[in-house]
Amino acid sequence: MKAMKPSVAISIVLGLAAVTALIAWRGFIVIGEAVLSVGFGVFLVVGFHFVPIALAAFAWRGLFQGDAPAGIWFFFLGRWVREGVNTLLPVAQVGGDIVGARLLIQRGGATNTVSASAVVDKTLDVFSQFFIAFAGVTLLFDGDNREWLSGMIVGLLIMLPLLIGFLLAQRWGLLHLTEKLLVKMMPLDRRARVDVEGIHDSAWVMYRRGSSCGGGLLLHTLARAAGAVEVWLILYFMGHPVGWTEAFALEALGQAVRSAAFAMPGALGAQEAGYMVLAQMIGLTPDIGLALSLVKRVRHVMLGVPALVIWQGIEGRHWMKTRQTSESKIAEADG
């Protein structure tokens, strides 16, 4: 196992220090009581999160249409693992997508097709987040919040051409470059057995399927919008209920803050500070915003840890199967 890079370790330490400093600033007892006030409601929050995971799994599988290498249950597990890796490990919110693709390839999917599906699915997810963030800004835009939200609108307007540019880059050769890099990274003895060429062509076959891409974009948008229910539940159990509009706006912009801080492992510190500011925009105190973020962290751990265990279990079974196959071939050769 590779050692963690010093820069990553430093980022984690700084992030944890930032979170601790924010809690200390608002008061350990005050924040602790707010978090604990959710009580057993946290299990309902955790259970509900399987809804957006399922929606995202259907979006991913839909890209294959009738050629999916596995059933929806395995896509659900893969999506759960993807989210767990991206949430709990320092992988800049993309490592989980690579892990999910790897699991699907182990299941029998063609390397180029599965890799293309990961790229297309991630692209659709990013665009859905843009739409959700823009909707959240629109809902909160009024005289009191105009100064803060104007900056967010500028950021979104800057982000849109970057998203479009990312899509065009895929069309103009980015995926061809990816194919070449993957081939160079592979050991010589594996290049003939692992087909990574054709990622570009496979991706654009998927993009041309308007129904599957449109459906995937819709499902990802619904999955992200469903996060508003999670926010509503947390605040309800805390004793600070809000309307659905406020919950949606808070979740939409909270997701945007977390994504913007992708370079920081787990968006540590950035997520907490973001919710403290956003909470004030809907009439809550910074303390409630900070407690909301910490409860979401609890949900990340409660769902993420089992996801990592599932991942290692699948990897372990694949390793055992590969080893048994190799031993059988050796025995046959010796015989």
pLDDT per residue as tens digits for the range 188-219:
445 444 566 678 888 888 999 888 999 999 99
**Spatial separation of the C-alpha atoms in residues 82 and 80, rounded to whole Å:** 5
The pTM of this model reads 0.89
**Spatial separation of the C-alpha atoms in residues 105 and 94, rounded to whole Å:** 17
pLDDT per residue as tens digits for the range 77-100:
999 999 999 999 887 778 889 899
Residue 126 pLDDT: 92
Residue 188 pLDDT: 47
CA-nearest of 280, 297, 299 to 289 is 280
Residues of the chain with pLDDT under 70: 1-4, 141-148, 181-197, 325, 327, 329-335
CA-nearest of 111, 112, 121, 126 to 176 is 112
CA-nearest of 129, 132, 116, 133 to 60 is 116
Residue 1 pLDDT: 46
**Spatial separation of the C-alpha atoms in residues 240 and 223, rounded to whole Å:** 24
